[in-house]
Amino acid sequence: MLDAVDTTMSDALVGRVLDGRYRVEARIARGGMATVYRALDTRLDRVVALKVMHQLFAENDQFVARFIREAKSAARLSHPNVVAVYDQGDDGGYVFLAMEYVQGRTLRDLLRERTRLTAAEALSVLEPVLAALSAAHAAGLVHRDVKPENVLLADDGRVKVADFGLARAAANLEATSATSLIGTVAYLSPEQVIRGIADERSDVYSAGVMLFEMLTGRPPYDGETAVSVALKHAHEDVPPPSSLVSGIPTSVDMLVARATARDADRRPHDAGAFLAEVVRVRGGLVMSEADDGSLTTLINRTLVVEIPDTATVGPNPPWQSGQPGQSGRPGQSGQPPRVTEPPRIAVPPQPPEDEYRRPHPHRKGWIAFFIILLLAAAAATAGWWFAAGRYTSMPDLVKLSSSDATAKAKAAHVTVQVGEPEFSATVPKNAVVEQSPAAKHKVLRGDSVTIRLSQGPQLFQVPKYDVAGGTSLVDYKSELIAAHLNIADPLATQYSPTVIPGNVISVFPAVGTDEKAGTTVTVTVSLGPEPIPIVDYTNQSGDQATQALKSAGFNVVATQDYSTTVKAGLVISQSPNSGTGKLYDTVTLDISKGPQLFKVPNVSSNLNGDPKNWISIQQATSILTDAGFKVNVGSTGRFGVVTRQTPKGSSMQPLGTVITIYAQ
């Protein structure tokens, strides 16, 4: 990776040794998916670049599994213009790749400095990029994220392409939101925008957009949002670069138009075919432009380019372009790439001439004619075989059953190998979810295709919750997220006398049910006990009030008091006597026992008794008044002695009762 060390802020990983091997020395760059560090491989004593995935990705088991698979595929890709992948590991949650360390900068850095390049400069950078992509396409790999940030310009003049397979690994995320479009939107092909698929022609489109930007200093489309830019890729044609910058040759305009055709079938079928066209066009540029030395100063012109043997070459092959003695591959002197020589036609030896009569001159001519015809047919057959006959187009096996895919591959002269199965929400179980190489890829007859069969959608169990102890909604949301399930919005709520408000009462689908990722789970949350209206039973029967309140769900506490105003058995007061309560709340009733009774003093005198014991009206009035009663004199009599009273003495009466006395 590039040496663009960021020293503006500290980093917890700097100074650590990952996997007991890689000592992290400095942070180089940070992107949307990972942070890149310069590190020392202490085992081999070499500097490497460590690409450490962000925690968002490292915590996703599905991503990590696919990431490791893609890293292994990228590690098998060996080419001078590809950033080599050395190792992959996981240390304490830090998922990383160890890659080749490239001293230099990115194509993006060069464009920021230069704004734009000449046609010859742009094509000289594009050639090694396409060489790298061509090698990947031949191996069945599609980059999916071709952009200037992934093109590295080494200080020694090499051009390298980085991040093979990472976009494919990220494409399987549910995540989020930020990965709905894989790849920088400015370089997405129409089929990636519309159908979410990518093949070799998608890389060709991205490379064509990158060529447009190198020539003009800007991408073909801009907009206020990423979605608006993506829609332009899907519904508008890339304009010719010469419409923005004068002096760009028509052949270069046509090159951009071919690579960025919205119809993928109109583009070069892979990077090798595009590379052949680029080499031909570059060879036809005027020498004054081709000899421009500005780019030489920046990357020393030592661009390592390898054109695959299977690349489709146009009418002017790269080894015939440019000056005499120059070659499409540096280090060669006008020699074409090695081509396997067609089989020679064996001609049987002629028998001794004396065994036969000398042939007639006309017969000799016919024999020569047939021999020439036979040789021409053999040469044509050999030419067809080496040019096209030994190749076949990889059939589209996706969504076919294993048996159907095998039969279709056999018909196309391709053998089938079955790789590890893979979960898929869109492809039926036991059908092909992925193939490598991709459909329409040109391969040799007898080559193999690796298919991965669908295991159907990955299922996750609805998590448990604690019924007895109670599980809060916040905690259960975390459980659902961990299980890749969604929670219904709005929430379902229910009153519960036993579950604390805010805790989970029930879920649907039921706990333990297997569901697809993203399934919505309805969670019912407790509102606590249901509110109960409180009725005021003051001045009503205490027994009836008690029964009614208990039936409503309240606990009732009844007390009794004397009352001179409320009849016995009726409610004197109630607390609370209004509003609402909850189940099992307590309501207190104060029930009247009626007025309190006191003994009436006996003030009646016996006239037959001792006169000393006679009680006068005045004495009786004083005695009754002091006892809390009122006095009414019914008669005064002749002697003024009380002989009778109503109510009678010793009877029980409420205080304040009027006692009528009679005297004689």
Can you spell out the DSSP letters for 46-104?
EEEEEEEEPHHHHT-HHHHHHHHHHHHHHHT---TTBPPEEEEEEETTEEEEEEE---E
CA distance 351 to 330: 51
SS (H, E, C) 279-347: HHHHHCCCHHHHCCCHHHHHHCCCCCCCCCCCCCCCCCCHHHCCCCCCCCCCCCCCCCCCCCCCCCCCC
365, amino acid identity: G
CA distance 439 to 395: 5
Residue 457 pLDDT class (50, 70, 90 cuts) = confident
Within 10 angstroms of residue 343's Cβ, the number of other Cβ atoms is 11
Q: How many residues does the chain have?
A: 664
Within 10 angstroms of residue 452's Cβ, the number of other Cβ atoms is 19
Can you spell out the DSSP letters for 145-180?
--SGGGEEEETTS-EEE--TTHHHHHTT--TTSTTS
19 catalytic per annotation: no
CA distance 114 to 106: 13
What tokens appear for 557 in the block?
Answer: 């506490």
Could you tell me what percent of the chain has a pLDDT over 70?
80
| Catalytic residue (choose from 145, 163, 203, 270) | 145
Contact criterion met (CB below 8 Å) for 215 and 249: no
Q: What is the pTM of this model?
A: 0.47
CA distance 507 to 521: 7
CA distance 207 to 147: 7
Q: Regarding predicted confidence, which is higher, 299 or 401?
A: 401
CA distance 436 to 439: 8
Q: What is the pLDDT of residues 319-375, one digit of tens each?
A: 333 333 333 333 333 333 333 333 333 333 444 444 334 445 555 566 666 666 666
230, amino acid identity: A
Phi/psi at 410 (5° precision): -60, -40
Q: E strands, 488-529, where?
A: 492-494, 504-508, 514-516, 520-526
Q: What is the Cα 457 distance to its own chain's centre?
A: 16
Can you spell out the DSSP letters for 376-422?
HHHHHHHHHIIIIITEEEPP--TT-BHHHHHHHHHHTT-EEEE---B
Residue 647 pLDDT class (50, 70, 90 cuts) = very high
Vertex 227 angle, CA 199 and 268, to 5°: 25
Q: What is the pLDDT of residues 372-389, one digit of tens each?
A: 666 656 555 555 554 455
CA distance 170 to 293: 40
What tokens appear for 252 in the block?
Answer: 């270069």
CA distance 113 to 214: 12
What tokens appear for 147 in the block?
Answer: 């952009």
Q: What is the pLDDT of residues 231-277, one digit of tens each?
A: 899 999 999 999 999 999 999 999 999 999 999 999 999 999 999 99
Q: Widest CA span of the chain, in angstroms?
A: 201
What tokens appear for 595 in the block?
Answer: 């007025």
Q: Quick one: 152 exposed, middle or buried, by C-beta within 10 A (0-12, 13-18, 19+)?
A: buried
The pLDDT of residue 366: 65
Highest mean pLDDT (candidates 217-226, 305-314, 355-364, 465-474): 217-226
Q: What is the mean pLDDT of residues 186-209?
A: 92
596, amino acid identity: Q
- SS3 assignment, position 128: helix
Q: What is the pLDDT of residues 164-193, one digit of tens each?
A: 766 554 444 443 333 334 447 899 999 988
360, amino acid identity: H
Mean pLDDT of the chain: 81
